[in-house]
């Protein structure tokens, strides 16, 4: 059995909080976007958000309720350049629209046979109001990258091997943060940040090693009593 990290599987724990801003609105929405650019190491692309790039790009201004897995092939090999993942049913007694609005850039450049092993991550606030909004602090969303489809760690070339996953969870610098894996990135998650007591800031953290913590059994038991669901990234 291959066991996924907590960053990629649901736990039946209490929904400790709702994101304070499900959909960013107003002029600050641009600053709060999460952007992921995927490219091959052979592409003539600059790993700098301010540079012109033909890398296939995913962007969202939404703060999700739960983690959602996106497969690169499903996103970029289709006809849609935008979409919405509806998560309204995961919120009890809270009318309104909850989920992930997303958009794509350079989708026409996607090559299903290419090896997208590099990523540029950007989650940045241009004019932070507090220290908690500055680069290096915990951001509003967490992103984890995988070498298997469906956000799994199973090596698609050898099902006996487990591939590491990589996580980002910090407000980035304006130019973003870059990383290169040893495999073709086939999927990624977008999820809300967990309570500050249970996770730390990641910058291309392999297997979340820079932010791993433990949750006590007594805490889990207490949270299970509420019967709600939350995704925790540890």
Q: State the DSSP code for 195.
A: P
- HSE, side-chain direction, 13 A CA sphere, residue 58: 27
> Is position 13 within any domain?
no
Q: Is residue 217 part of a domain?
A: no
pLDDT above 50 (res 81): yes
Cross-strand partners of 119: 38, 179
Q: Identify whether 15 is part of a domain.
A: no
* Per-residue pLDDT tens digits for 125-179: 777 788 777 787 888 899 999 999 999 999 888 888 999 999 999 988 888 899 9
Q: Is 9 contained in some domain? A: no
Q: Is residue 228 part of a domain?
A: no
| Model pLDDT for residues 178-215, shown as the tens digit of each residue | 999 999 999 999 999 876 545 678 899 999 875 433 33
**Domain-located, residue 76:** yes
Q: Give domain status of residue 57, yes or no.
A: yes
- Which pLDDT score is estimated for 214? 31
pLDDT at residue 62 is higher than 90: yes
Q: Which domain holds residue 161?
A: 20-192+203-210
User: Number of helices and strands (H, E) in the chain?
Assistant: 3, 13
How many independent structural domains does the chain possess? 1
Confidence of residue 229 (pLDDT cuts 50, 70, 90): very low
Contact residues for 48 (Cβ-Cβ < 8 A; gap 6+): 120, 175, 176
| Residue 132 is assigned to a structural domain of this protein | yes
Q: Which residue has the tokens 């199973």?
A: 154
């Amino acid at each position: 059995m291959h066991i996924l990290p907590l960053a990629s599987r649901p736990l039946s724990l209490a929904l400790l909080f709702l994101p304070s801003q499900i959909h960013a609105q107003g002029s600050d929405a641009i600053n709060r976007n999460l952007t992921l650019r995927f490219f091959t190491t052979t592409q003539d692309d600059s790993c700098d958000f301010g540079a012109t790039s033909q890398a296939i790009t995913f962007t969202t201004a939404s703060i999700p309720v739960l983690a959602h897995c996106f497969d690169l092939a499903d996103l970029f090999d289709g006809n849609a350049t935008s979409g919405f993942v509806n998560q309204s049913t995961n919120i009890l007694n809270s009318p309104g629209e909850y989920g992930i609005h997303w958009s794509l850039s350079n989708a026409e450049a996607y090559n299903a046979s290419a090896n997208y092993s590099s990523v540029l991550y950007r989650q940045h606030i241009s004019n932070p109001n507090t220290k908690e909004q500055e680069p290096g602090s915990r951001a509003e969303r967490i992103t984890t990258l995988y070498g298997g489809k469906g956000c799994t760690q199973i090596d698609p070339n050898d099902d006996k091997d487990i591939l590491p996953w990589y996580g980002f969870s910090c407000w980035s610098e304006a130019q973003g943060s870059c990383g290169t894996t040893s495999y073709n990135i086939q999927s990624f998650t977008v999820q809300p940040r967990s309570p500050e007591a249970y996770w730390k800031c990641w910058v291309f953290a392999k297997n979340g090693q820079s932010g791993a913590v433990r949750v006590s059994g007594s805490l889990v038991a207490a949270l299970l009593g509420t019967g709600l669901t939350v995704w925790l990234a540890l």
